[in-house]
Amino acid sequence: MTVHPYIDLRSDTVTLPTPEMREAMYSAEVGDDVYGEDPTINRLQELAAAMTGKEAALFVPTGTMGNGVAMLTHSGRGQSVIVGDQSHVYHYEAGGISTLGGSPMHVVPTLPNGMLDIEAVKEGIADESDSHEAATSLICIENSHNRCGGTVQSVEEVESITTLAHARGIAVHMDGARVFNAATALGVPVSRLVRDVDSVMFCLSKGLCAPVGSMVVGSHEFIRRAERNRKLLGGGMRQAGILAAAGIVALEQMVERLPEDHQLCRLLAEGIAHLPYVDLDLTGVSTNILIFTLRDAQGRFLADSVVNDVLAKVQEQGVLISRMGPHGIRAVTHHGIGRQDIERTIQVLEQVLRDLHI
């Protein structure tokens, strides 16, 4: 097993498969999944559908492919998709649905908790009757919200989007890469949180520690069509039950420990909130992602070069944190991080920031 010399808070994507996962992978029963004959993938898909309360599920290699497959399935060429200006699908998926499917993205502001600005969504909805406009086919939401700092939108907030969308005949897709973190923080079953959305993508390979894999869930009909789009993108794998076996362990064993990650993230936030230059909103810290900025006494963001220098000095002391967005610094807690790692991180940040002279 790889032992990382650093306290690695760059992302929960760095998590390693657990011994139970490796066991399950070793003994997984497999078959050709393009023929639908991999029993382990079939079992994972049934489990994912049951846990999210949806009819069917599809195993895909990555979250990016899962979002792509879902969006291609909902939206045709020349139909537009409403996305948030801070969303992962907009920032980090190489142009996503616009590149893949010829669907323009209509970008609306994101509120601090990751919720789309509902008035902007209402104004952004275009219909078929005006030939100037690309008619809206889909609204994408993200929960928990990565670039907003792992923030969570409530059941009611999700419903306010789905009610609006469905009244206009528009589908809603949730990028739920960390939807189990969101549901855990809200204290609701994940099936309740996603009940009214038409599709969800969630990742097995982040806080849930599987080495590879994401799921797309939705209706039978939706998943049937999504399978073709997965094939189009080259995601039809063969004896990938080896990977799905780890995914089953992820869903059966790793969801219940997510509160530990959330508590440690909170501990980190509280431990650094009072440090010089640190600007962070403790009220928004509800899952495993912490985003903060560095500002001077006048409230101005510290220069890029200074922020990079801080991260380099922190790294010299054995702690990896990363940048997110124009000014944000991101730290993500996960299975590989314990209380002592967080205490050490607070110590290191304190020392580096107290020694900073600008």
CA dist., res. 153 & res. 156, Å (int) = 8
Site for ligand TLP contains 301 (CB under 6 A): no
Nearest CB to ligand TLP, comparing residues 289 and 294 = 289
Instruction: Write down the least CB distance from residue 300 to ligand TLP, Å.
Output: 26
Among 45, 52, 214, 286, binds ligand TLP (CB under 6 A): 214
Nearest CB to ligand TLP, comparing residues 126 and 177 = 177
| Number of residues near ligand TLP (by CB under 6 A) | 15
User: In this structure, are strands 56-60 and 289-294 parallel, antiparallel, or unpaired?
Assistant: unpaired
Report the helix count and the strand count for the chain, using DSSP H and E: 14, 13
Among 81, 203, 240, 250, binds ligand TLP (CB under 6 A): 203
Residue 236: other Cβ atoms inside 10 A: 16
Half-sphere exposure of 318 (CA within 13 A, CB side): 12
Q: Are 281 and 353 in contact (CB under 8 A)?
A: no
Site for ligand TLP contains 335 (CB under 6 A): no
Among 8, 175, 227, 341, binds ligand TLP (CB under 6 A): 175
What are residue 60's DSSP bridge partners?
A: 214
Task: Name the one range near ligand TLP by CB under 6 A: 62-70, 188-196, 226-234, 242-250.
Answer: 62-70
CA dist., res. 176 & res. 172, Å (int) = 12
Instruction: Write down the least CB distance from residue 175 to ligand TLP, Å.
Output: 5
**Closest-CB residue for ligand TLP?**
63
Handedness of CA 142, 148, 152, 156 (dihedral sign): negative
Site for ligand TLP contains 184 (CB under 6 A): no
Site for ligand TLP contains 126 (CB under 6 A): no
H helix runs in the chain, sequence order:
19-26, 39-52, 63-74, 88-91, 96-101, 118-124, 155-167, 179-186, 190-193, 220-232, 241-249, 258-272, 304-316, 339-354
Instruction: Write down the least CB distance from residue 151 to ligand TLP, Å.
Output: 12
The SS3 call for residue 171 is strand
Instruction: Write down the least CB distance from residue 191 to ligand TLP, Å.
Output: 20
The SS3 call for residue 161 is helix
Among 25, 52, 56, 63, binds ligand TLP (CB under 6 A): 63
User: In this structure, are strands 319-320 and 7-8 parallel, antiparallel, or unpaired?
Assistant: parallel
Q: Are 183 and 177 in contact (CB under 8 A)?
A: no
Site for ligand TLP contains 177 (CB under 6 A): yes
Task: Name the one range near ligand TLP by CB under 6 A: 58-66, 97-105, 118-126, 251-259.
Answer: 58-66
Nearest CB to ligand TLP, comparing residues 83 and 203 = 203
Among 8, 33, 142, 198, binds ligand TLP (CB under 6 A): 142
What are residue 320's DSSP bridge partners?
A: 8
Among 31, 92, 327, 343, binds ligand TLP (CB under 6 A): 92
CA dist., res. 32 & res. 37, Å (int) = 5
Phi-psi region of 10 (alpha: psi -120 to 50; beta: other; left: phi over 0): alpha
Site for ligand TLP contains 140 (CB under 6 A): no
Residue ranges binding ligand TLP (CB under 6 A): 11, 13, 62-64, 67, 88, 92, 142, 146, 175, 177, 203, 205, 214
